[in-house]
Structures are given as C-alpha cells and as structure tokens.
Amino acid sequence: MSHITLSPATNTPSDEFLERIAWMAVGVNILLIALNTVLGLLSGSIAVGAEAVHNLVDMLGSVGVVVGLRLSRKKNSAFPYGLYKVENIVALLIALLILLAGYEIIKEAVFAPPAPVEISLSLMLGVLLTLIIPVFFGLYTVRVGQRGNSPSLMAIGQEFRMHALTSGAVLLGLAGQAMGWQLDRWAGLFVVLFILQTSWELSRDAMRALLDASLDGETLHKVRTILSEDPLTVQVKSVIGRNAGRYRFIEAQITLRTHDLDKAAKAYDRMENGIRQAVPHVERVMLHTLPTVANQQICAIPITSEGDLVADCFCHAASFQLAVMDRTAGKVDSISIHPNPFLEMEHGKGIQLGRWLVKSHVDLVLTRQDLEGKGLSYVLSDAGVEVHKTHHNNLNEALAEVCSLLVTAAKTA
C-alpha cells in the first residue's frame, strides 16, 4: 500500500493523496472485473458473472469519487464557498449503486434458473482471491478516508468490505454446489441484508451533510470549551457547525471583555487556532461579537487576614473579596471571600494570580499598590480587566468608591 502523505499543518492526508487512493480503487476494481469475468466465462457460474457486474458498478463509483475530490476543491464567483458537498453527492450516488448491486444479487439468488457449474480448484482459488483483495484494500481505504474525513473514500472502503461478503457468499455457494447442496441462493440473500444496511448508512450520512445537519455534540462541546476558556471571553452565546464534504464549518456568537479592536482580533486568532488544533478539517471559523452585557460587574479587592482592610500588597493578600456589583444602581449584590491560592508560591505568583482572577470572570481590580510593569498587570490588561488604584484602607470605603466609579461609567457609556 502507498505511504500516507500528511499535510504538515493538519497532520492529515493531503488532497492529492486522497485522489491517488481513489484512482487506486479504480485500478483494483478493473482487476476484479477482469478476474471475475474470466472465472465466470470458464465456469458458467451466474453468481461469479454477477460479481463482475458488481465490480463494474464499484468502478463507476470510484471514478465518481475522483471527480468529486477534484470538484470539491474548486472555488469560483458562482460558488465562493467551494463545491465541498460534491463529495456528499458522490457518496449518495455510491449508496444508490450499492443498492443496485443488492438488487442484482437478489435477482440472481431468487429468480435465476439452476445452471450447471464447472467446479475446479482454480475456480475456487480465483474466487478466494476476489475475496481477499477487497478485504485488505477496503480496510486501508476506510482508514485513509477517516484520516482525511472524506465521506466518498469511506464509502468506497465500505463498499469494498461489503464486496468481500458477496465474494464469500459466492465461494460458499460454489462449495455447496460441489457437494450437491444449493447454498448459493441462500448465501446471496443473506449478503443482501448487509448490502442494504451499508446503502442506508451511506445515504443517511450523505443526506445529513447535504441538508446541513449539525456537527456532533462532542465536537460542538469541544469548540465551546475552547471559546469559553479564552481570557477575553465573557460569554459564549451559541455555537453551531455543519459538515460539507470532509470539511467543517463553525460559527459562534461570543461576548468579549474589551472594546479594543486589536485585542479582539488577537483573541479571535487565539480561538481560531485553538479550534483548528483540536478539531480536524475545519475550513472556516466565523466568530460574531455581541454587545457586552454590563449590568453587573465583578470587582476583586485584596484584603488582610482580619478581613476588613484592603491589603497593601496585592499578591501577598491573605484573601480576595469578589463583589458582584450592579453598576446602574451603584450597589453590591453579593460578596464572596476566597483565600489567596498562590500565597505560598515563591516565583510567578503575580501571573498565576492574574490568570485565576480572569478565570473567575473578574471585570475590575481594586488595589492600593501600583501594578504598572508587573506580570500581573500584563495578564489583566490582555484580558480586558480594569485596574483601579485606591488610597482607601477601609474595605467599606473602598467598596463605596467602586460603586461610585461604576455609576459614573454607566452614565457616560
């Protein structure tokens, strides 16, 4: 088998490699057509002849996949979003071809009159070969299709694996014929059940993509987690996504804790890169920013061990008071006290503390210490957290100052 060529950015098979595998499928089908045709003519077996027709249907499907892979990468003014869904259309056509192959087997198994078949060792070995080749090539094609998220290649692989069952039914029927048992008709009917199942699964998946069905819940949850964990994210309103061919399109509505366009652009880049690393085959990520909901804000104040004074040193504060404040009414809605989780840390305390405050969705930090030029200040600034320096030592007076600041900001907004 050919070595899988990976795209360096996504660690997935390249489009050129996927197309090469599709051409290999065409070649394998031509080989099987020739082999089954010769075996059918020499033996007079109707079942083997039907297998040759089955291989011809598969070959037409493989040619369609090559066309689909090429068209899916093209973009023009008429189709600015690309022709990705061509692959799903091809997968649907292959499902119909599989259904046609099932019909051929039913017709041969039920309605064909009995006919003498010349059983020989070479015939049995030939049919066995037509069973082995599809099994190994089908497994390989499905693996490549899964790595490349190509529905048409996975359809080819599944068809090859299903074809091994039909060859097995033919082999069983020939063995029964050699012993005087008429098993080939029953074996054919048994294989038809697998044919119909494969056809249904392929057509179902293709129709879901053509009708823009949602991405699976696990993928959407993964995207939502990446978006919500960004320091600038206040809220993830919605996340939707769809498949088109082997590519994924993701769209989300988020609220950011900043009005700075440069910071917002950097946040978008972080989120998009994180999504592309976690979710393969993402073609486009569209992030829409919603207006910031500013009715409430969370203010963090460093406090002493006594709990009623503002600590002089922010990083060495015993605890932090997180006050949920109504900025329009200028009042405190609720207060919670949290011990400083990094009090005993010797190095990097400020950066870790800043990250903890950002994850706690803090909007405003009140401090008696000048934080300019410190690691803590950079973390808070990047996350859009405001820092206000106060001269008040008394905690109640500091809270009153924050309330006044919020009311003033709300009136001028």
SS (H, E, C) the chain: CCCCCEECCCCEECHHHHHHHHHHHHHHHHHHHHHHHHHHHHHCCHHHHHHHHHHHHHHHHHHHHHHHHHHHCCCCCCCCCCCCCHHHHHHHHHHHHHHHHHHHHHHHHHHCCCCCCCCCHHHHHHHHHHHHHHHHHHHHHHHHHHHHCCHHHHHHHHHHHHHHHHHHHHHHHHHHHHCCCCCHHHHHHHHHHHHHHHHHHHHHHHHHHHCCCECCHHHHHHHHHHHHCCCCEEEEEEEEEEEECCEEEEEEEEEECCCCHHHHHHHHHHHHHHHHHHCCCEEEEEEEEECCCCCEEEEEEEECCCCCEECCCCCCCCEEEEEEEECCCCEEEEEEEEECCCCCCCCCHHHHHHHHHHHCCCCEEEECCCCCCCHHHHHHHHCCCEEEECCCCEHHHHHHHHHHHHHHHHHHC
If 0-12 CB within 10 Å is exposed, 13-18 middle and 19+ buried, where does residue 63 land? middle
For residue 36, what are the contacts with CB-CB under 8 A and spacing of at least 6?
48, 49, 51, 52, 55, 130
Lowest mean pLDDT among 140-154, 309-323, 352-366: 140-154
Lowest mean pLDDT among 119-133, 330-344, 384-398: 119-133
For residue 29, what are the contacts with CB-CB under 8 A and spacing of at least 6?
55, 56, 58, 59, 62
- Please, are residues 143 and 153 in contact by the beta-carbon 8 Å criterion? no
196-220 pLDDT per residue, tens: 776 787 788 778 777 777 888 899 9
Measured distance CA(146)–CA(144) in Å, rounded: 5
Mean pLDDT, rounded, for 93-109? 75
Mean pLDDT, rounded, for 215-244? 89
Question: In this model, does residue 120 exceed pLDDT 70?
Answer: yes
Mean pLDDT, rounded, for 77-101? 74
pLDDT at residue number 222: 94
Give Dmax over CA atoms of the chain in angstroms: 105
Percentage of residues in the chain with pLDDT exceeding 90? 10
Most confident of 77-86, 188-197, 375-384: 375-384
β-bridge pairing 319-326 and 331-339: antiparallel
**pLDDT band with cut points at 50, 70 and 90 for residue 155:** confident
Measured distance CA(379)–CA(377) in Å, rounded: 6
Question: In this model, does residue 4 exceed pLDDT 50?
Answer: no
pLDDT at residue number 112: 66
**pLDDT band with cut points at 50, 70 and 90 for residue 239:** very high
pLDDT at residue number 256: 84
pLDDT at residue number 275: 93
**pLDDT band with cut points at 50, 70 and 90 for residue 162:** confident
| Phi-psi sector, 82: left (phi>0), alpha (psi -120 to 50), beta | left
Rounded to the nearest integer, the mean pLDDT of the chain is 78
Phi, psi torsion values for 236, nearest 5 degrees:
-105, 105
Strand order in the sheet with 364-367: 331-339, 319-326, 296-303, 364-367, 386-389
Mean pLDDT, rounded, for 21-25? 81
Q: In this predicted model, which residue has the larger pLDDT, 330 or 362?
A: 362
27-84 pLDDT per residue, tens: 888 888 888 888 877 776 666 767 777 777 777 666 766 666 666 666 666 766 667 6
241-258 pLDDT per residue, tens: 988 766 788 999 998 877
For residue 279, what are the contacts with CB-CB under 8 A and spacing of at least 6?
219, 222, 223, 248, 250
Percentage of residues in the chain with pLDDT exceeding 70? 78
SS (H, E, C) 147-188: HHCCHHHHHHHHHHHHHHHHHHHHHHHHHHHHCCCCCHHHHH
Lowest mean pLDDT among 57-66, 89-98, 372-381: 57-66
**pLDDT band with cut points at 50, 70 and 90 for residue 114:** low
Question: In this model, does residue 8 exceed pLDDT 50?
Answer: no
Measured distance CA(293)–CA(255) in Å, rounded: 8
